[in-house]
């Protein structure tokens, strides 16, 4: 099952674990805010809409940070920029624990978003360029499985851990723990960990006196790839965030559960998500990237509807197994972003293209996040969550009908150059 890992060189394995650890803590830092919303409302005196606006602003910032980080990793190296992004989002996650009001939390989470928006794409590009093409889906899918683990850590920090302290200090401790990912930078060796493909491409650009600007991803040769990949990202993330970001609020308000139990249920969902990512990664390498997005998208819609509208109230005998299956599809949808976007974009703009597509989807998903509490003013919270989830999946399916299939595609330094002798 893990033959791809055994045949990988030692350097690739070390990069794998570094990127995996980064994604675990990236997801934990991003999700802990969502899971802490009920406590933040009480402690900071903010409304659900204001909490949603903070999350939305953070995701908008992630789009800018991701695009910039992707361009910088194309220009200065994957490993070097990965160090910067990990340090950045770790520090601002820590500082979130010191916020005293809505305005301070808004500013800190926007700055935090800049770093975590860049980290995902830079790590995916770094590993995606190093792994055997036959196993790219498996390797990056395994890395993506760090996201549900991170979500589980966030659920523990926002649930049992935060509940063990005074309400005004518990959520702060959950944020302070976000400084831990900074330790990962000691496992990255800057330029020596960059892939040979990147080094060859960088040398080729230098020899030809060509440079790649921020706008290169909108060159006529790749602009439709950029836009359609962004739309796919928007649909998947918009659907997932519409449901996941308000699950603890849904559990406490409509299911009548405590904050601690709601957090544990989210942890159960995350456990299912781990297996969803692994399953996706193997299906993707066999059936193709587009097919797996469709399968998991439909699975998400079905299970989210059952989870939100099932007539079992707060009965854990039903919520636990159904939540695991729901989490399988929710997190599993993400597992093919890394390999698919790595294969779609040429080497010289892979960081920029991948980061922009994924994070522009993240930013657009912020509108879905903000739309849920607004829509919930006219219908139950569960109905508002489901409505935006349906819109998101519909948006995601369209690009899978247009974008090319790329499974198994080999990468090369000269793959489809998109720049001329001036900045694109």
Specify the number of domains making up the chain. 2
Range of the domain at 39: 7-182
Taking the CB of residue 421, how many other CB atoms lie within 10 A of it?
8
Does one domain contain both 229 and 171?
no
> What pLDDT is recorded for position 420?
39
Does one domain contain both 266 and 155?
no
List Cβ neighbours of 249 (8 Å cut-off, separation of 6 or more): 37, 38, 48, 381
For 315-321, which contacts have Cβ atoms below 8 Å and span 24 or more sequence positions? Answer: 316/261, 316/265, 319/255, 319/265, 320/265, 320/268
CATH number at residue 147: 1.20.1250.20
Does one domain contain both 158 and 42?
yes
> How far is 128 from 122, CA to CA, in rounded Å?
10
> How far is 185 from 179, CA to CA, in rounded Å?
12
Does one domain contain both 224 and 364?
yes
422 within some domain = no
| Domain end residue (candidates: 133, 161, 182) | 182
69 within some domain = yes
At residue 126, the 3 state secondary structure works out as helix
Does one domain contain both 233 and 172?
no
> What pLDDT is recorded for position 423?
38
> How far is 377 from 46, CA to CA, in rounded Å?
17
Candidates 109, 99, 95; CA nearest to 54 is: 109
210 within some domain = no
Quick one: tokens of 268? 């159960």
Does one domain contain both 286 and 394?
yes
> How far is 86 from 67, CA to CA, in rounded Å?
16
> What pLDDT is recorded for position 384?
93
Does one domain contain both 257 and 342?
yes
> What pLDDT is recorded for position 293?
95
191 within some domain = no
Does one domain contain both 381 and 285?
yes
> What pLDDT is recorded for position 6?
83
Does one domain contain both 112 and 242?
no
Q: Alpha-carbon Rg of the chain, whole angstroms?
A: 20
371 within some domain = yes
Candidates 158, 76, 155; CA nearest to 118 is: 76
Candidates 287, 272, 275, 289; CA nearest to 406 is: 289
> How far is 106 from 112, CA to CA, in rounded Å?
10
Residue 380 exposed, middle or buried by CB count within 10 Å (0-12, 13-18, 19+): middle
| Domain end residue (candidates: 126, 160, 182) | 182
> What pLDDT is recorded for position 373?
86
**Mean pLDDT of all residues belonging to the chain:** 84
At residue 17, the 3 state secondary structure works out as helix
Q: What is the pLDDT along the chain (424 residues), one digit of tens a residue?
A: 567 888 888 888 888 888 888 888 878 877 788 778 888 888 888 888 888 788 878 878 887 888 888 888 888 888 888 888 888 888 998 999 999 999 999 999 999 888 877 887 788 888 888 888 888 888 888 888 888 888 778 878 877 788 788 878 888 988 898 888 777 766 666 556 777 778 877 777 777 777 677 788 898 888 999 999 999 999 999 999 888 878 878 888 888 888 778 877 877 888 898 899 889 988 999 999 999 999 999 999 999 999 999 888 888 888 899 999 999 999 899 888 989 998 999 888 888 888 889 888 877 887 888 899 889 889 999 999 999 999 999 999 999 999 999 988 877 655 544 443 333 3
156 contacts 271 by C-beta, under 8 angstroms: no
Quick one: tokens of 186? 């000691």
Does one domain contain both 167 and 252?
no
202 within some domain = no
Does one domain contain both 227 and 367?
yes
> What pLDDT is recorded for position 421?
36
Overall residue count recorded for the chain in this entry: 424
Measure CA of the first residue to CA of the last residue in the chain; give whole Å.
43
255 within some domain = yes
> What pLDDT is recorded for position 297?
95
Q: Where are the extended beta strands (E) located within 358-416?
A: none
Does one domain contain both 260 and 398?
yes
> What pLDDT is recorded for position 46?
86
269 within some domain = yes
Residue 309 exposed, middle or buried by CB count within 10 Å (0-12, 13-18, 19+): exposed
């Amino acid at each position: 099952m893990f033959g791809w890992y055994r045949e990988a060189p030692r350097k690739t394995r070390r990069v794998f674990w570094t990127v995996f650890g980064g994604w675990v803590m990236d997801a934990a830092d991003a999700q802990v805010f969502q899971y802490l919303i009920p406590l933040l409302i009480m402690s900071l005196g903010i409304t659900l809409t204001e909490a949603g606006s903070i999350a939305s602003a953070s995701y908008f910032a992630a789009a800018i940070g991701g695009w910039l980080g992707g361009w910088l990793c194309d220009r200065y190296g994957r490993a070097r920029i990965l160090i910067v992004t990990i340090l950045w989002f770790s520090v601002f996650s820590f500082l979130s624990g010191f916020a005293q009001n809505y305005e301070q939390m808004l500013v800190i989470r926007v700055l935090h978003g800049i770093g975590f928006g860049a980290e995902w794409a830079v790590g995916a590009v770094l590993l995606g360029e190093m792994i055997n093409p036959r196993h790219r889906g498996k390797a990056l899918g395994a890395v993506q499985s760090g996201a549900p683990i991170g979500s589980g850590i966030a659920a523990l920090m926002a649930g049992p851990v935060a509940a063990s302290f005074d309400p005004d200090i518990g959520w702060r401790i959950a944020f302070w723990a976000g400084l831990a990912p900074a330790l990962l930078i000691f496992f990255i060796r800057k330029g020596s960990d960059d892939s040979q493909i990147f080094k060859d491409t960088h040398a080729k650009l230098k020899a030809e006196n060509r440079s790649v600007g921020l706008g290169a991803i909108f060159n006529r040769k790749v602009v439709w790839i950029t836009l359609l990949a962004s739309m796919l990202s928007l649909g998947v993330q918009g659907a997932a965030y519409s449901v996941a970001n308000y699950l603890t609020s849904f559990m406490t308000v409509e299911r009548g559960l405590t904050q601690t139990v709601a957090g544990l249920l989210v942890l159960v969902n995350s456990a299912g998500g781990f297996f969803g990512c692994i399953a996706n990664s193997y299906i993707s390498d066999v059936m193709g990237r587009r097919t797996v997005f469709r399968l998991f998208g439909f699975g998400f819609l079905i299970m989210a509807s059952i989870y939100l509208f099932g007539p079992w109230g707060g009965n854990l005998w039903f919520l636990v197994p159904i939540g695991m299956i729901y989490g399988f599809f929710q997190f599993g949808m993400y597992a093919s972003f890394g390999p698919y976007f790595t294969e779609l974009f040429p080497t010289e703009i892979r960081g920029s293209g991948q980061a922009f597509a994924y994070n522009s989807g993240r930013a657009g998903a912020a509108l879905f996040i903000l739309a849920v509490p607004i829509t919930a003013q006219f219908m139950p919270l569960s109905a508002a969550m489901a409505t935006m989830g349906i819109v998101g999946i519909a948006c995601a399916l369209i690009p899978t009908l247009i974008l090319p299939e790329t499974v198994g595609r080999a990468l090369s330094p000269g793959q489809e150059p998109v720049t001329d002798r001036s900045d694109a």
